[in-house]
Amino acid sequence: MKFADNPRQATEYLRRAIPLMVKGGIPPTPLNYALWYVYVSKAIPALNQQMDKTLEIYGTCPNRISEVLFRDFLIKDEIENAEVVQQALLSVMGDLESSASSTVHDTEAYNEVLQDSLAALKDKNDNQGLETIIQNLTVNTETISESTRQFQKKIDEAQAEISKLKKELDQSRQEATIDPLTGLYNRRVFDAEISQLASLPEPDVSLIMVDIDFFKKFNDTYGHQMGDKVLQYVARLIKEECSEPLLPVRFGGEEFSMLLPGIKAPDACKLAERVRKKVAAIRIKQKKSGETISSVTASFGVARLETDESPENLIARADAALYKAKEAGRNNVQIAN
């Protein structure tokens, strides 16, 4: 996004944005300044709608959501353009490599022609001056040929380095917040989010803890590859039910969580029940034998964050409800006291 406001407008927007940031406890980072500047300017109505919804739920704008909004509304075009440029650069490098290869081939062919011509001139005892000129041309052509080969080598190295850097950049972006196997948010994001929600004066959030039933036995019977496939299936079903600002998380091992700001306990139980039914409907076939593996189930524990309750205590209560679901025969949803 490009800002075209005059100095007076810009000063007014900043004057209005700063008190809102202070009220919400928003860190004064460049990212947040830009986000709130655009918010008070109302330049992007869709951004204001998203932020108003977030403020209604949280009373502030959590860092995770701020980063998503900044990326989606303020720099999306720039990111896409950068990726286009990067791909174009790779294409150009490939073209240059091809061009350099052709140049090497053509230059060597030209050198061969000159050598043959020189030999013919020698046989005919032609003018010595002309022979000297041709000899010089031959030497220069050999030099150009070697130089071009080195140029091609450098291009190969540069192209490999660009590809490597792109992979590393993509990987580092993912590793910071995303579980690599399931594609859900990782525990690091969960801890930051639940701490922020618990710090609100009137927190409004529910937590669902999920555990796949008899997962160790499943792994021992069918192997870790099939176990990973089950984790991915369950993660996908959880993610389907968790649009922003709901947070689907791989908590660890075969355990997942859903952090649900703005969701009351009864609605959280309904959400858990929907996921439970979808998980119970999973059927997986083994490629080698074609055998359909017995159904997968999961147990669910639901808890609602109380005023002044710590994140640790909320997790413990949701875990206790999950344990109650296991004791009740598994494949069911239980709510914490």
Instruction: Examine the pLDDT at 4 and tell me if it is beyond 60.
Output: no
- 241 or 222, which is more confident? 241
pLDDT on residue 284: 80
Instruction: Examine the pLDDT at 86 and tell me if it is beyond 50.
Output: yes
Are 226 and 284 spatial neighbours (Cβ–Cβ below 8 Å)?
yes
pLDDT on residue 130: 65
pLDDT on residue 16: 86
Chain position carrying tokens 């000899």: 135
pLDDT tens-digit series, residues 7-37: 778 778 888 888 888 888 888 888 888 899 8
**76 is written with which tokens?**
């999306």
Lowest-confidence segment of 42-56, 157-171, 237-251 by average pLDDT: 157-171
> Does domain 187-335 match CATH 3.30.70.270?
yes
Lowest-confidence segment of 143-152, 183-192, 274-283 by average pLDDT: 143-152
Neighbours of 224 (CB within 10 A): 9
pLDDT on residue 74: 79
Helix, strand, or coil here: 29? Answer: coil
- 266 or 170, which is more confident? 266
Phi first, then psi, for residue 82 (nearest 5°) are -65, -40
The pLDDT-based confidence of 92 (bands split at 50, 70, 90) is: very low
Chain position carrying tokens 């999950």: 322
C-alpha 226/C-alpha 66 separation (Å) is 37
C-alpha 311/C-alpha 307 separation (Å) is 11
C-alpha 67/C-alpha 69 separation (Å) is 6
- Region of residue 214 (left: phi > 0; alpha: psi -120 to 50; beta: else): left
Instruction: Examine the pLDDT at 39 and tell me if it is beyond 80.
Output: yes
Query: Would you call 312 a catalytic residue per the annotation?
Result: no
pLDDT tens-digit series, residues 229-282: 999 999 999 999 998 889 999 999 999 999 999 999 999 999 999 999 999 998
Strand-pair category, 292-293 with 298-304: unpaired
Q: Considering 97, 157, 168, 254, which one is annotated as catalytic?
A: 254
pLDDT on residue 129: 59
Instruction: Examine the pLDDT at 178 and tell me if it is beyond 70.
Output: yes
The pLDDT-based confidence of 91 (bands split at 50, 70, 90) is: low
pLDDT on residue 202: 81
pLDDT on residue 139: 66
pLDDT on residue 243: 87
Chain position carrying tokens 């291009």: 155
pLDDT tens-digit series, residues 263-275: 999 999 999 999 9
pLDDT tens-digit series, residues 114-138: 666 666 556 555 555 566 656 666 6
Give percent of the chain with pLDDT exceeding 90.
Answer: 35
pLDDT on residue 121: 58
